[in-house]
Amino acid sequence: MTTDQPIISVRAVRKTYKLGRVRVPVLHGVDLDLAPRECVAILGASGSGKSTLLHLCGGLDRPDKPGANTPPPSITYRGRELTTMRGPALDRYRTRDVGFVFQFYHLLPELTVLENVTIGAMPGHGRLSWLKHKPGAIERAKALLDAFGLGHRLRHRSAELSGGERQRVAIARALVTEPPVLLADEPTGNLDRETGGTILDTIEGLRDSMGLSILLVTHDESVADRADRVVRLIDGRVVGGAGVDPPVAGGGAARREPAGVPSGKGPHP
């Protein structure tokens, strides 16, 4: 086992949704660890609660409060408890510490490719603060898009891109603030096998070059097989171990930068 402390640690997390008057339990006390520079795939069928788990890890949702006979839930990021974090702190966490990638890309159709990426760095900045950080953010966005082979499509709208290109723009947006964690929800689910493979190559490359920790949600065994570790989620329960395993070879113990991507963890744009 690695001695690295998990960058994200999930303990005893339960989540129940209300559908009208019906309470639908989705997660039943899930435990999960994600080590630095590790890629973990959460594998499960549709409705198994994998996306819910990803949203909880990303601070978009909160777990159920503990019952009389259940332990208190805990989701920590580098030791900081997310479940008790207040709104502004959670907003900062989503901006700086994690990046989301979704199955349907979720690009903003009114914006150009460059704006879609840059907007990832805008939340949390006022007018003056943004003026200061804007050049760095644009430079970073351009570098990422260049690295993803989209440097010539900066002024295009998302409707003018293919599915694979859109997903690469979404990944660039998730990484424009250089977060240490990438949360990917079925990133290849809407792509053909070949394009999906390219996207996975890109994600793997980022893990290797930037030392990213990646939590990847998928229902596809072949996608999950490319992760360092697979956590199976069946009906809201983790089947098998969910602790930190050693990163696979090439997992990026030493951080490397991809060509064209500005180096280091400088001040967040």
Partner 1 sequence: MYQALLTRRYLTSKVMPLLSMAAVLLSVATVLITWSVMGGFLEVLLGSGRKLIGDVAITWPNVGFKHADDLVDSLEDHPGIARAAPVVATFGLIQLPAAQVREVFIKGIEPESFGAVTDLPASLWWRPIEEPTRRDTARLDPRLPENTAPDFMAWTLNNGLSMTRPDDRTGEPTPAAILGITVSGMNRRTEGGGYEPLAVIRPEASGDVAFEDVFMPRNGEIAITVLALDSGGRPIDSVTRSFPVANEFQSGIYDADSKTVLVPLEGLQKMLRMDEARRLVQRESFDPLDPASSAGELVTDPERVTTVLVRGAPGTDARAVQAIARDVYAEFAGAHPGEVPDALSVNIQTWEDLNATLIGAVKKETGLVLFVFGIVCFTTVFLVLSIFWSMVSEKTKDIGILRSLGASTAGIAWLWLRYGFALGVVGTACGLVSGYLIVTNINAIHEWLGTTFGLVIWDARVYYFTDIPRVVEPWRAVVVGIAGVMTCVVGAAIPALRAARMDPVKALRFE
> What residues line the site for partner 1 (CB under 8 A)?
52, 55, 58, 60-61, 87-88, 91-96, 100, 102, 106, 108, 110-111, 115, 119-120, 122-127, 130, 173
Of the two residues 106 and 255, which places its CB atom closer to partner 1 in the complex?
A: 106
- Nearest approach in angstroms of CB 22 to partner 1 is 16
- Nearest approach in angstroms of CB 2 to partner 1 is 29
Of the two residues 44 and 252, which places its CB atom closer to partner 1 in the complex?
A: 44
Of the two residues 140 and 229, which places its CB atom closer to partner 1 in the complex?
A: 140
- Nearest approach in angstroms of CB 129 to partner 1 is 8
Q: Measuring CA to CA, which residue among 109, 99, 104 is closest to residue 186? A: 104
Backbone angles phi, psi at 141, to 5 degrees: -65, -45
Of the two residues 144 and 230, which places its CB atom closer to partner 1 in the complex?
A: 144
Of the two residues 115 and 165, which places its CB atom closer to partner 1 in the complex?
A: 115
- Nearest approach in angstroms of CB 184 to partner 1 is 12
Backbone angles phi, psi at 130, to 5 degrees: -70, -40
216 DSSP β-pair partners:
41, 184
- Nearest approach in angstroms of CB 120 to partner 1 is 5
Residue 152 to residues 50, 147, 155, Cα–Cα distance (Å): 36, 11, 8
Task: Show the beta-strand stretches assigned E in 39-173.
Answer: 39-44, 74-77, 80-81, 98-101
Residue 126 to residues 123, 133, 139, 186, Cα–Cα distance (Å): 8, 10, 19, 33
CA 268 to chain CA mean position, Å: 17
